Structure 1
Amino acid sequence: MTSILADRIGGSVYERGDDGFDAAAAGFNLAFHPEPDMVARAASVADIVETVRFARAARMRIAVQGAGHGAESPIDAGLLLNTSALDHLHVDPEARIATIGAGVRWKPVYYAAAPYGLAPVTGSSADVGAAGYLLGGGVGPLARSHGFSSDYVTGFTVVTGEGDVVEATADQNPDLFWALRGGKYGLGVVTEMRVRLVELTSVYGGSFFVDTPDIERMLRSWIDWTHGADDRVTTSVQAVTYPPLPGVPAQLRDRRLLSVRFAFPGDPAEGERLLAPLRAAAPVYVDRMGELPATELGTIHNDPPDPIPYYVHGTMLERVDQGLATAFLEVVGADSPFFASEIRHLGAATNRDVPGGSAVGGRENDYVTAFISGQPDLFATAAPAEAARWDTVAAPWISPVNNANLVSQPITRDRVDSCWPDDIRERLTQVRRRYDPDGVTLGWWEP
């Protein structure tokens, strides 16, 4: 079968055991070692068309991988389609549109837009692939001021589950356009996106840390502060235990701290004023706040740029209060299997849908949590057990609707279904049946 597909595409095709198979299949999360039946590394849109048609005829499911951040469960069968070679990027400064290939990560987009005083609205990491991130909605350091990142997409080029190339915009295939902005999976293979850029050269932002004795005071103060926060400010807190490794700054090494992350896309003096109540809430141990160029938005959260093994459990919250703070503190203690535990403040612009609507799940929620373990020996035992405990103790605050980019582990049918309210999920099912009637591109998202 490999030779049949290899004869039809200009890219490369691998079976298990072939040289190059592991590199072509590898994702960002090293906890998973993909073992599909085949890997196709596409070199063009035509390659994707042929690969989809081949898979459909062979009754194989396709999992799509660009930058590799998407897969959160094992891939042990089917065909893995690697789109990383589709890395074309063009910025039209007059139209303020970036045309982004399916293999592009956000960092090159930052730097291509910056000379024109423009920036993309992206997530917390500049190293995440644009396509997979946008398909789930996407929230980052500008979430409250600018909304979900998918709100800025003006068009997609897609290879459907039947192997046809179509455009999805507000005017062409509008039902598919609606679904791709938040629907995440089963909608074909995105080969290109057109994304609206915003005028932005810098932000007042960064992070500051408080030491262990002040974690509770800072957390409770931040929760109260968010209830009246300016809509232009996006913040989050993360309880993190830093390992005693050479790459970790000396003042953070082997310490348990609470990081407060802050982003304000406006005048630094105004940002300083808005931040002042948080700074005064507890003694600041390390201060990394200041004016940042828009190209450095990814440093606010400082997510790891290189592949690592990790287990993540994410939930969206309908609200927070001091009872939620108590529940959070129960789970993030010194003996927690999670080295990093985060609450992000959403709301404001993320609550407002785009004209014509979109399939983003969880838009009504104002907070999201993520718990991260980096110890592989805990991924099958302590980490899921503590995640389940969080779901129990935080049940009064956890929203029944999650988001496809935030759900993470464990991937179960119930958790996947929870990524959208009933009306959006039912409409997505109809759109998937229209553009991928055989479910070829359901991939790893089908538990």
Structure 2
Amino acid sequence: MDSPQAPEPATVHTIDFGALSRNLAGTLYEPGAPVYDDLATPWNLAVQTSPAAVVEAANAADVVECVKFAAANSLPVAVQATGHGIASNLDGALLIHTRLLDACTLNSDSNTAQIGAGVTWATVLAQGADLGLIGLCGSAPGVGVAGYTSGGGIGPMVRSFGAASDKVRSFDVVTGDGELRHATAQSEPDLFWGLRGGKGSLGIITGMEFELLELPVIYAGALFFDTAHVENVLRIWAQWCPTLPHTATTSVAMMQLPPMPGVPEPLAGRFTIAVRYVFVGTADDGATWLAPMRSAGVLLMDAVGPMPSSMIGLVHSDPEDSMPAAERSTLLADFPREAVETLLEAAGPDSSSPQLMVEIRQLGGVLPQLPETPSALCHREAGFGLHSVAVGPPPELPAFGAHAEAMIQNMAPWAYGGSLANFATGNGAGAFAESYTPSVLAKLSTLARHFDPENVFRLGQVPAR
């Protein structure tokens, strides 16, 4: 039976947002208010947003009020914490900002964290430092925990410990019917399944509890090589990866970093290659496994060594400031020598590539092992992930994106098929759909119709019905 369609939307100018504002503990901002621009702007400055109003939620009850109001007024709803997942212009939407839901409590007795939707990984890492605890964060600590984990969470220790979504114990989530639900594997098994990997398809997460690891020290960092060694380093890295144990997670990135604050002087203004590495065993073992890469060329910088696990963000040193960017990604089944040569032709030192960074992440390890409680995360068996980032004035970004798409097409002989949800953001509903198998996507769509009968999350991740 078909689900009911959302009623015809009211004209935004006729909606009395004051009726919503009076029921909130937080604050509602309409266009023209200075805070509106701050809250509505996503991390990717190439995305221009124009929501009808923005609510800075003070608690979960505010999120409930917003969702109910949106359903009654036929408004789409979107959510933002750090803004890394926003890809739509949000035209006419009610945007809920969750940065004030910033409670974060780590429990060293149970090795768990309880966090609000506004908490970033940087906060969890900082609190875990004194306890010797770490969560399965991403490469950028400034990213929100909830959004990252709901997309599966494939981070710099994925080969050793799997996906972040596998470590979740519970979610507090407001579904499209305006209900605040506590979802666990026992209480809401279908919702719990979809929230772990389904990104924003089924509701707005207001809080969550997840497991932490006892891991005070890691052997980690990055090796940097100059232009003349890029090709040799990439070839050796591709041969080295299959030899690694699951205690090692690595990626390699060809980079063209501009001279600007935060970029180390040896890397600025030149074409370089970085080998990122996280080893969760002893430093001696970590150094032994890394030795073939240390000898792959003349090093510009060797920044690998024992470090507190709370400093794991230094491995990738992802940019923290907002910028206009074009990102593309895909998954590879394998990365043999022929694939290396193809990638070098498209994005190597002699290619005139406009990409700021082209990265290959090795997957595998324990990631393909299915968790005891199933989830919506797909494509666990992929061997590698390919991701590119180009930065520049927004008028130039479409051409940069076209170059990346051509590069991905050239890599088609080694394609696994599809992408990962957190890397598909910004490339449309079709790209997001490729993050899932047909059966998983069908189940997510069915659940979305059940939990969101008025289709208020139609700007979300599941293709609009």
TM-score range, shorter-chain basis? Answer: over 0.9
Checking the alignment, whether the CA contact within 8 Å between 1:49 and 1:163 is kept in structure 2 is: yes
Where do residues 100-249 of structure 1 align in structure 2 (5 Å cutoff)?
A: 100-249=115-264
Normalising to structure 2: TM-score of the pair? 0.93
How many aligned residue pairs are there?
A: 446
Tell me the CA shift for residue 378 of structure 1.
Answer: 5.5
Checking the alignment, whether the CA contact within 8 Å between 1:114 and 1:201 is kept in structure 2 is: yes
Tell me the CA shift for residue 382 of structure 1.
Answer: 1.7
1:263 aligned residue: 278
2:402 aligned residue: 385
Counterpart pick for 1:19 among 34, 50, 57? 34
1:295 aligned residue: 310
Greater Cα offset, 365-374 or 427-436: 427-436
Greater Cα offset, 299-308 or 323-332: 323-332
Tell me the CA shift for residue 310 of structure 1.
Answer: 1.2
Secondary structure of the 1:99 match is strand
Q: Distance in 2 between matches of 1:434 and 1:409?
A: 26
Tell me the CA shift for residue 297 of structure 1.
Answer: 0.4
Counterpart pick for 2:432 among 416, 425, 441? 416
Where do residues 55-94 of structure 1 align in structure 2 (5 Å cutoff)?
A: 55-94=70-109
Q: Distance in 2 between matches of 1:42 and 1:292?
A: 37
Checking the alignment, whether the CA contact within 8 Å between 1:186 and 1:436 is kept in structure 2 is: no
1:443 aligned residue: 459
Q: Distance in 2 between matches of 1:389 and 1:409?
A: 17
Secondary structure of the 1:365 match is coil
Tell me the CA shift for residue 433 of structure 1.
Answer: 1.7
Calculate the aligned-residue CA RMSD, in Å: 1.4
Secondary structure of the 2:331 match is strand
Q: Distance in 2 between matches of 1:5 and 1:388?
A: 43
Are residue 370 (structure 1) and residue 387 (structure 2) matched?
Answer: yes
Q: Distance in 1 between matches of 2:160 and 2:348?
A: 32
Structure 1: runs of 5 or more not aligned: none
Secondary structure of the 1:227 match is helix
The one-letter code of the counterpart of 1:415 is A
Change (3 A) 1:73 1:394: farther
Structure 2: runs of 5 or more not aligned: 1-15
The one-letter code of the counterpart of 1:426 is A
Are residue 277 (structure 1) and residue 292 (structure 2) matched?
Answer: yes
Checking the alignment, whether the CA contact within 8 Å between 1:239 and 1:257 is kept in structure 2 is: yes
Q: Distance in 2 between matches of 1:201 and 1:246?
A: 30
The one-letter code of the counterpart of 2:133 is L
Counterpart pick for 1:433 among 446, 449, 458? 449
Counterpart pick for 1:50 among 56, 65, 74? 65
1:398 aligned residue: 415
Tell me the CA shift for residue 136 of structure 1.
Answer: 0.4
Checking the alignment, whether the CA contact within 8 Å between 1:237 and 1:259 is kept in structure 2 is: yes
Q: Distance in 2 between matches of 1:418 and 1:243?
A: 33
Q: Distance in 2 between matches of 1:240 and 1:72?
A: 24
Greater Cα offset, 280-289 or 418-427: 280-289
Q: Distance in 2 between matches of 1:373 and 1:74?
A: 20
Normalising to structure 1: TM-score of the pair? 0.97
Secondary structure of the 1:238 match is strand
2:13 aligned residue: none
Q: Distance in 2 between matches of 1:378 and 1:226?
A: 38
The one-letter code of the counterpart of 2:456 is V
Tell me the CA shift for residue 388 of structure 1.
Answer: 2.1
The one-letter code of the counterpart of 1:147 is G
Secondary structure of the 1:35 match is coil
Q: Distance in 2 between matches of 1:55 and 1:318?
A: 43
Greater Cα offset, 154-163 or 368-377: 368-377
The one-letter code of the counterpart of 2:187 is Q
Secondary structure of the 2:421 match is coil
Are residue 355 (structure 1) and residue 372 (structure 2) matched?
Answer: yes
Tell me the CA shift for residue 439 of structure 1.
Answer: 2.0
Tell me the CA shift for residue 387 of structure 1.
Answer: 1.9
Checking the alignment, whether the CA contact within 8 Å between 1:311 and 1:379 is kept in structure 2 is: no
| CA deviation map 1:325-380 (0-9, x unaligned) | 12211222452121111000011111112112110122121210111111124544
Checking the alignment, whether the CA contact within 8 Å between 1:185 and 1:442 is kept in structure 2 is: no
Identical amino acids, percent of aligned pairs: 36
Q: Distance in 2 between matches of 1:197 and 1:388?
A: 37
Change (3 A) 1:40 1:409: closer
Change (3 A) 1:26 1:348: same
